[in-house]
Amino acid sequence: MPHGPIFSDWNYRVLSDFFWLLPHTGSRDTLAQFLTVNALASTWIFSAVFFLFWRMEDGRKAWRRSRLLEVVFAFFLAMIVTVAWRPWIGWPAPSLVPRFQMLYPDYFWNDGNHNCFPSHSTLIYLLVAAGFWPFKRWLSALLMLWVLLGISAPRVYVGGHYPIDILAGILIAAAALWVVRRICAAPPVAGLLSQMIAKGGILLDLFLFLWLFELAEGFRSSYIIAMGLARGARSIL
């Protein structure tokens, strides 16, 4: 029998209160599922805003591109950290755990990830949204709110994540962005970053195109490729 997350009782209480405030109904379940699976309705806007800030032509272009690349570096740092601990830290989604299943309609049962910690969707898009803070604070705050309401909450609602997964995603995103910005503030690193922007050319544009494509669709293609490579490696070993 699969076990729930750490602080299982606290997560259960938070979810119980959440569903007391917003009980499951057909229309709410449909909306939550729609936002969870439809990138065009939930996550594409982060790529669009990133691209617009990258393409702006003004006197702060180099500075702005440096800040945006810091967001990309923070993303890779967060992914490396979470993937490294994944074999040892994690738990199945609420929809897979009998104690928590009872909080959801049975059509959500057995449809979650076998390791849902942390919420990578919350982590990635909150990190990107917070990365826009130096440019437009109102826009950054609005996008951070959308992460919680349009990305995190629907995934909790359909049984994909616990509250602890969302909280961990928020903390890791904040920590990764803070660490990268501290590192990039050092003069030698800042100089290398400026050279990368000045000389990156078409290779940098191609890399950003691919990264923004994946960002828009929630890195689903990357996940499928990674899982295929992992299965291949396991079969060989």
The CATH number for 222's domain is: 1.20.144
Which tops the pLDDT comparison, 12 or 221?
A: 12
Residue 3 placed within a domain:
no
Query: For the residues 163-189, what does the mean pLDDT come to?
Result: 96
Total domain count, the chain: 1
Burial letters 138-163, b for 16+ CB under 10 A, else e: eebeebbebbeebbbbbbbbbbbbbb
Q: Cα(152)–Cα(119) distance, rounded to whole angstroms? A: 8
Residue 2 placed within a domain:
no
Residue 69 placed within a domain:
yes
pLDDT in tens, 111-141: 889 999 999 999 999 999 999 999 999 999 9
CA-wise closest residue to 104 among 91, 116, 117, 94: 94
pTM score: 0.91
Query: Where would I find the beta strands (DSSP E) of the chain?
Result: none
Residue 56 placed within a domain:
yes
Residue 204 placed within a domain:
yes
Q: Domain of 106?
A: 8-236
- C-alpha to C-alpha distances, 121 to 48, 102, 116, 178, 217, nearest whole angstrom: 17, 25, 10, 19, 11
Query: For the residues 74-92, what does the mean pLDDT come to?
Result: 92
pLDDT in tens, 46-81: 999 999 999 999 889 999 999 999 999 999 999 999
Structure tokens that stand for 212 in this block: 């923004």
For 89, phi then psi, to 5°, come to -120, 120
* Percent over 70 (pLDDT), the chain: 95
Q: Is the pLDDT of residue 225 over 80?
A: no
Q: Is the pLDDT of residue 161 over 90?
A: yes
Question: What rounded mean pLDDT belongs to the chain?
Answer: 92
Residue 139 placed within a domain:
yes
pLDDT at 2: 66
Residue 214 placed within a domain:
yes
pLDDT at 4: 84
Residue 127 placed within a domain:
yes
